[in-house]
Amino acid sequence: MRKRIPVAAPALVGNERKYAQECLDSSWISSNGKYIGLFEESFARFNEVPHAVSCNNGTAAIHLALMALGVGPGDEVVTPTLTFVATANAVVYCGATPVFVDSEEATWNLDPAKLEAAIGKRTKAIVVVHLYGQPADMDAILAIARRHGVKVVEDAAEAHGATYKGRKVGSLGDIGAFSFYGNKVITTGEGGMVVTGDERLAARVRLLKGQGMDPARRYWFPVVGYNYRMTNIEAAIGLGQLEKIDWHIRRRRELAARYAELLEGVEGVELHRQAPQTEHAYWMTTVRLRGEVACKRDVIMEVMDRRGVETRPVFHPMHTLPMYASLARGGLPVAEAIAASGFNLPSYALLEDDDQKYVCDALKDVLRECR
């Protein structure tokens, strides 16, 4: 029987084991140890920002970013509706209300043309998501935000190494958030990072992530904080991953390019492609079905699964989820259409050529059967 091809898997191909073993040998396995600082400093250099603060996951990174900006009860935060649920949940953790905006047809990201109408008197921030690794239209979004005096958080959880006009995502807004979950471009198992060019914001994030303890006065807590710390052993794994991040990013882009080649001319299949003046990170290679097969997405995914190929659907728009349905302000049709017809193909760095070809051949066969 043919092996099953997963949609994602980590690639531990560097010094991860060596550095993690050093943590075990030294007993520095919790939230203190040299690898925390090394990983933060290295990630700041990689992402071309002055400050990087580690935390325990990407959701916490967004929450910390919003809290550092002073988002709280009574505030509104504008987000794209087409995103992973953590983006909206982090807003609610602050006691604020998410306001959802529809997607661009081409990039699937927040549509700047629909952004201004979502900004009101209570808007404190905009969370921009670089969906599946494709950078959003940051010039347009930042211009609108500055005009209204609104801060911008970049949710770059899926976009390590992606660039917009030559600049790394996460470095463009006021503050950025990354995830290092096991399926991301690089991983620490769980884990996250907040990046910023603002020293004051970085200090606030450090205070909040460590239970709010005053760094100059041990066990003195001037604010209510959170236990959002990364462990030294996670940071050790992260440093091993980061040392080879160019390889990780290159592999994702090679996979996307080969998918485009193998699926060229296949009727009804449209790949999520790189926009002009950007470099897509291709966390996932994602396709959208068009024409007569668009409404058969779930059936196609089920048949692919029976053939040993795991796929995953595009995220459900936030305004369609039970806890956020009451916040919908009219229809958000572009996001709804993308979500209903899109799915992720196996996209991990160690995917072999023969397996990738099998994925594409299986998809072609299934599409023929479903027409």
Please report the pLDDT score of residue 328 as a whole number: 86
- Angle, helices 16-26/232-242, rounded to nearest 10 degrees: 160
DSSP structure class, residue 238: H
Question: Quick one: fold of 245-370?
Answer: Aspartate Aminotransferase, domain 1 (3.90.1150)
Which residue stretches of the chain have pLDDT < 50?
A: none
Report in angstroms the alpha-carbon separations of 229 from 69, 153, 199, 279. 19, 20, 19, 31
Residues forming a β-bridge with 279 = 163
Q: Which of 88, 93, 99, 92 lies closest to 122 in space, CA to CA?
A: 99
Dihedral angle, C-alpha 159, 323, 75, 146, nearest 10 °:
30
pLDDT at site 73? 98
Average pLDDT, the chain: 97
Q: Is the dihedral of CA 61, 202, 124, 211 positive or negative?
A: positive
Q: What is the chain's length?
A: 371
Query: Position 141: which residue type?
Result: I
CATH number of 16-102+109-242: 3.40.640.10
Burial 342-353 (b: 16+ CB within 10 A, else e): bbbbbbbbebee
pLDDT given for residue 1 in this prediction: 60
Q: Where are the domains of the chain?
A: 16-102+109-242, 245-370
Predicted local confidence at residue 26, as pLDDT: 95
Neighbours of 286 (CB within 10 A): 27
Query: In sequence order, what are the residues at sequence separation of 6 or more whose Cβ sits closer than 8 angstroms to the Cβ of residue 353?
Result: 258
